[in-house]
Amino acid sequence: MRFGQRFYLIEAVQGVLLTSGHFFRNMGKHLAHALGRRDARGAVTIQYPEERRPYSPRLRSLHRLVRREDGSPRCVACMMCETVCPAHCIYIVATEHPNPEIEKMPERFDIDLGKCVFCGYCVEACPEDAIRMDTGILEFSSYSRRGMIYTKEILLSLEPVGPDGRPASPVPIPANRTV
Partner 1 sequence: MILDVGIAFGRVMFVMMFVLNLGGLLTWVERKQSAIMQDRIGANRASILGFRAMGLFHPLADAIKMLTKEDFMPAHADRFLFQLAPFVSVFFALVAFASIPFGDTLSIAGREVQLQAVTLNVGILYVFAMLSLGVYGVMMAGWSSANNFALLGGQRAAALMISAEIAIGASIMGVVMVYGSLNLQEIVRGQGQPLLPGILGDWIPAWGIVTQLPAFFLFLTAGIAATKRIPFDMPEGESEIIGYFVEYSGMKFGMFAMADFLETVVIAGMTTALFLGGWQVPYLMADGFHFPWGAGVTLPHLLVVVLQIGSFVVKVCVMIFVMMLIRWTLPRFRYDQAMRLGWLGLFPLSILNIVVTGAALLLIGRPS
Q: Which residues pair with 90 in a beta bridge?
A: 111
Size of the site for partner 1 (CB under 8 A): 17
Nearest distance from C-beta of residue 170 to partner 1, angstroms: 24
- Cα angle 25, 28, 31 (rounded to 5 degrees) comes to 150
Minimal distance, residue 27 CB to partner 1, in Å = 6
Q: Would residue 79 be called left, alpha or beta, if left means φ above 0 and alpha means ψ between -120 and 50 degrees?
A: left
Using only C-alpha atoms, the chain has a radius of gyration, in whole angstroms, of 25
Residue 137 CB, nearest approach to partner 1 (Å): 24
Q: Which of 1, 2, 3, 9 binds partner 1 (CB under 8 A)?
A: 9
> Which C-beta is closer to partner 1: that of 41 or that of 166?
41
With binding defined as CB under 8 A, does residue 88 bind partner 1? Answer: no
Contacts of 69 (CB under 8 A, 6+ apart): none
Binding mask 12-51 for partner 1 (x = CB under 8 A): x--xx-xxx-xx--xx--x-----------xxxx-x----
Question: From edge to edge, which strands make up the β-sheet containing 149-150?
Answer: 90-96, 104-112, 149-150
15 or 86: whose CB is closer to partner 1?
Answer: 15
